[in-house]
Amino acid sequence: MNLALDIGNTRIKWGLYDHGRMTEHGMAGAGELAEVCSSHAWQRGILCATGAYSPADLGKEAHRVHIVTHRSRLPIALDYATPDTLGADRIAAACGAWAAHPGCNCLIVDAGTCITIDFVDSGGTYRGGAILPGLAMKFRALHTFTAKLPLLDNIDAQNAILTGRSTRESIQAGVVTATRLAVQGFANQYRKAYGDLHVMLTGGDAETLWGTGLLDIDNCTIHPWLVLNGLNEILNANEE
């Protein structure tokens, strides 16, 4: 049994895998890593982290956990100028996309604290991508860098309208529409450059963006556990 751990900026996602099939999954708070590790039966573990953590948080199980870096054995090739700066979650998502659609061009949109856009070509090579602010970051920036705009702490992005008729609605319309058009634009540009393309949407805000009903992207699907699936693929590639 494999345990995959994705430590983000706000939460931990975990999944248990038996012969390549996810059998159990869940989420935990940022300080609950040791509890996740100790409360499940597993033989091998793997971890990627964009949020803060300490190897000591793994407790006595640390020796059984592979920490993903660009030096890990991967099922894909990396064509990136600064691989040591490439986030392990982006590597894992790319591996998950390749496992889901081998031999195809894949564009991964990971809508979390930041939104990352990553491209894996049909030959199984990761080519790079883009990083832009996520929904919550954009809302916070409008409040932080202005004198009067409010911080929207109850984001109703799924019901955002195109033309805001109040300041609150205008902020939501601007943030959600800008994000939608950015994601849509990236997908269209990659499709123009590379032809057939699978667009895979994941991350904490994936359902929110999808639920607006405004994403107009051909061949786009949601994959909530894409990073975990990729971690399991990497772990299998690094099996001794």
Torsion of CA 25, 27, 30, 36, to 10 degrees: -40
Measured in degrees and rounded to the nearest 5, phi and psi for residue 207 equal -65, -35
Measured CA distances, 98 to 23, 119, 120, 132 (Å): 21, 10, 7, 23
In terms of Cβ atoms closer than 10 Å to its own Cβ (0-12, 13-18, 19+), residue 34 is: middle
Candidate list 57, 89, 110, 205, residue with the active-site label: 89
CA distance linking residue 122 with residue 10, whole number of Å = 33
89 is catalytic: yes
CA distance 18 to 119: 28
- Say which DSSP state 205 is in: T
Beta-bridge partner residues of 5: 14, 47
114 C-beta neighbours (distance < 10 Å), count: 15
Angle 173-130-145 (CA atoms, 0-180°, nearest 5)? Answer: 45
Residues carrying an active site annotation: 89
